[in-house]
Amino acid sequence: MMVPAALLLLGALTAVLAPRLLARAEWPDREPVVALWVWQCVVGAVLLCFALSMVLSAAAAWLAVRGRLFAAAPHGVVDAYALGPTGGPWAVGTALALAGGGLWTGARLTREVLRARTRRRARGAELLVRAPLLPGEDPAGARLVVLEGTRPDAWWLPGAAPQLVVTTAALGRLKGSQLDAVLAHEQGHAEARHDWLLHCSRALAGGFPQVPVFAAFEAEMHRLVELAADDVASRRYGRLTIALALVGLNEDRGVFGPYPSPQPHVSERVRRLLSAAPRLSAGRRLRLTALATLVPAVPLVVALMPGLSALT
C-alpha cells in the first residue's frame, strides 16, 4: 500500500507547491502560451496522481479489481506492490473517496459545458434577432457580426463556427488598424479554443474550491488566455496598436482609474504591451516546454517503478 500513499502525497504536494512556485516566476507574462502549457501539465499531473492512487487502492481493496489490473503481469509484479490479501478499510475508503472525486469532477465539467452551451445558444439567438442572416448567407460559416450599440465592445462566441461580434460604437472608437488588432485578438481565442481551458478550470475550481492548484488554475487561465491573444494581435499589428485598442474599448469603464476595478487585468495588459518586455530565447522556451511535459510522467514512474523493478 506504499505506492497509493506515495501517489496521494505527491499529488497533494504538487497541488500546494506548484501554484506558489509559478506565482514567483516572472517569465509567464513574457511567454503566456508556454505558461498555459505548464499549468495544464501541472494540473494533469495532480489528477493523474489521484487517478493512479485510486486504481491501486481499488486493486488492494478488491481481488476482482486486482485480477483485472494485473491479469497479464507475472506473479512477481503483483508481489512487488505489496498489496496483501486485502487492503483493509484504508484502501477501500481511499478508493471510494477518489472515485467519488472523479465522478464529481466529471459532473462539474458536464454541468459547465452544458451551461456554456445554453449561454452560447441564447446569445446566438439574440444575435440572429439583432443581426439576421443575409439572403444566401451560410449560417454555419464563420462570420463577423456588427451590432448597433452605444458601448464600444468586441467579443467572440465559441463553438464549431466561432462568431466575432463588434458594436458600432467600437467601430467609431477604434482608429486605423486598431479594429483589425481587436479582431485578431478574438480570432486568437477562437483558433486556440481557449473556451475549453476556461470550462475545465471553472469545473475544477468550482468542484474543489479548497484545492490551491485548482483555484490558481482558474485565475491564471482567465489571465493567460488574454495575454496569449494579445500576443497574437501584437505580432500582426504591433503592441502599441492593440494597447490603444484596449484603452479605446475600456476607457469609459473605469478600469484605468485610481479605484479598484472589476477588470484589473485590462490595465495590466496595457502596461505589459507598452513595456514591451523581450521574449524568452527559443532554447529556454523549449526547455520549459520539455520540463513541463515531463511533470505528468513523474506519477507514472512512481506507479510503475515497483513492477518494472520486479521484471528486472
Nearest Cα to Cα of residue 59 among 83, 32, 30: 83
Average of pLDDT values for 303-307? 82
Whether the CB-CB separation of 252 and 173 falls below 8 Å is answered with no
pLDDT recorded at residue 1: 61
| Residue 4 grid cell | 497509493
pLDDT recorded at residue 142: 54
pTM: 0.85
The share of the chain scoring above pLDDT 70, in percent, equals 88
pLDDT in tens, 66-87: 777 777 777 777 777 766 666 6
Least confident of 68-77, 173-182, 253-262: 253-262
Whether the CB-CB separation of 208 and 214 falls below 8 Å is answered with yes
**Cα–Cα distance measured from residue 36 to residue 310, given in angstroms and rounded to the nearest whole number:** 38
pLDDT recorded at residue 38: 96
Provide the mean pLDDT of the chain. 84
Average of pLDDT values for 46-57? 90
pLDDT recorded at residue 294: 95
pLDDT recorded at residue 255: 66
Whether the CB-CB separation of 174 and 270 falls below 8 Å is answered with no
pLDDT recorded at residue 189: 86
- Give the range with max mean pLDDT: 21-30, 63-72, 138-147: 21-30
pLDDT in tens, 93-107: 888 898 998 899 889
pLDDT in tens, 103-133: 998 898 888 888 888 887 887 777 777 777 7
Q: 19 falls in which pLDDT band (50, 70, 90)?
A: very high
Residue 97 burial (CB count, 10 A): 13
pLDDT recorded at residue 141: 60
> Rounded to whole angstroms, what are the CA distances from 108 to 104, 112, 204, 271?
6, 6, 7, 35
Q: Please report, as a single letter, which amino acid is at residue 190.
A: A
pLDDT in tens, 200-257: 998 898 888 888 999 999 999 999 999 999 999 999 999 999 999 988 888 776 666 5
Residue 20 has pLDDT above 90, yes or no: yes
The share of the chain scoring above pLDDT 90, in percent, equals 31
Average of pLDDT values for 295-301? 93
